[in-house]
Amino acid sequence: MRPWQNVANVALFSFALAFACSAQTILSTSAQPVGSVSFVIGKAQVQRTGEAIPLISGFELKVGDQLVTPANGHVHIRFVDGALVSLRPSSSLKINEYRFDARNPAASAVKFELEQGVVRAISGQAAEAAKDQFRLNTPLAAIGVKGTDFVVEANKSRVNAIVNQGAIVLAPFDAQCRMDTFGPCSTRFAKELNAASKGMAITYSMSMPSPQLLPTGQLKGSELLNLVSPLSVAATGAVLAQENSNNRVQQNRVDAKAYSGLNDILVNATNQDSLAWGRWGSQNTQDKLTVPFINALQGRAVTVGDGYYFLFRNEANAANLLSVQQGAVNFGLMNSNAYYLDGGNNVFVANVNSGQLGINFATQTFNTNLSLSTLAVPVSSGVLSSPPLNQTLQSSGKINLSSGIFLSSPVANAPNTGVTMPSVAGAVSLDTKQAGYIFTLPSSGGQFRGATLWGR
């Protein structure tokens, strides 16, 4: 029997479990904390016993908690056994079980439920010592681990996953692979993906007879395409490795002491700059825009970010001049950094040749364009050929005067192509003298990605 033929059985079984799971949640919310939030961007929250609580760094989490991130939100968590979890925008993750005894790690049991969105998990002592007692459930399938670092994207119709280290086993729910059990399912529909399969992803949908392995470049429309570049993977790992769960700081701010181990140099920013682009990881000699995170956060707060680029704004000493009285303002391009990610997940240096940014505070709108190019056209083999690849980004949208954040207006995908239109997310300094934004522009089977800094 194929997995999709068991949907009714799975649904009935899930319904039967609802009361038991609810009772477990009620009992466990008074238990000891199982982890804490180490980093927050955006107005993320935790849902606990019917109450929505805003998340801040240092917030202690318990079994039964459900973490929810908004469209611009990121949450990073460190659990009591050292496990690390990164929850990306528009995601919902529930902690169904987290039992860990440092004296007997083999008796541990961990279960998460990713209702939607994207999560990255790096195993701690519990999953390492008790692999048969770790489970990440999605709406369609169960994921077990073999000591690993993996990323999962899920919704009601599909689940995709990639592996950075170790291995995972993905199996659709059926009578032999139930939501209430732990560990990897061993049914005949189960499929393993390990880190040795470079550039591969595992995917499953209701229309498939079983999970399939395919190149990540074929995950059309998947958020995972934004996470498979060396920059993104290395950057996220650096974020998680540097976080300290003992820091208790204000929401959207990070304690610089937690990052004192980053022996990096200051590139372009000083404490007097209104805006600064911070990065995770070691110095990239081709990146003349960003500065080490520890430098960028000095006296500043995070506005927007995508996992590698984070835009910090000085809010302590600047009067908020964001008002309709500012009228229309034009900005010139001061600095930028960009790269091109092709369909084979190869990363190439890209140039931002010129650009324009206009913000109309009276109408609370913005428009921008960028001229982008690569030194040569990337191809799937990773070999460069000529002539150069040239592309123009054009985007517009709304600016929120209360936050100073601007986002490109949603645009429907091009009909029958699956091509995603350009996206822009940025912020203006509170004195209106500077602005910056991150961008994504699909092009020729790949995408340009980068960040910009502007001045009046």
Res 397: pLDDT = 93
User: Is pLDDT of 24 > 50?
Assistant: no
- Percentage above 90 pLDDT, the chain: 40
Omega before 387 within 30 of 0, i.e. cis: yes
Q: What distance in Å separates the CA atoms of residue 120 and residue 114, rounded to the nearest whole number?
A: 11
Locate the domains of the chain by residue range: 3-228, 249-455
What is the chain's mean pLDDT, rounded?
77
**Distances in Å between the alpha carbon of 382 and those of 85, 183, 226?**
32, 38, 18
Q: What is the DSSP string of 48-75?
A: ETTEEEE--TT-EE-TT-EEE--TT-EE
Which helix (DSSP H) or strand (DSSP E) does residue 129 occupy?
helix 125-129
Tokens at residue 62, please?
């318990």
| Range with lowest mean pLDDT among 10-24, 63-77, 319-333 | 10-24
pLDDT tens digit sequence for 42-55: 789 999 998 999 99
pTM above 0.75, yes or no: no
pLDDT tens digit sequence for 372-419: 988 755 554 444 544 578 899 999 999 998 889 999 886 544 444 444
pLDDT tens digit sequence for 240-264: 333 332 232 333 333 332 222 222 2
**Chosen CATH of 3-228 out of 2.60.120.1440, 3.40.50.1100, 3.10.20.30, 3.40.50.720:** 2.60.120.1440
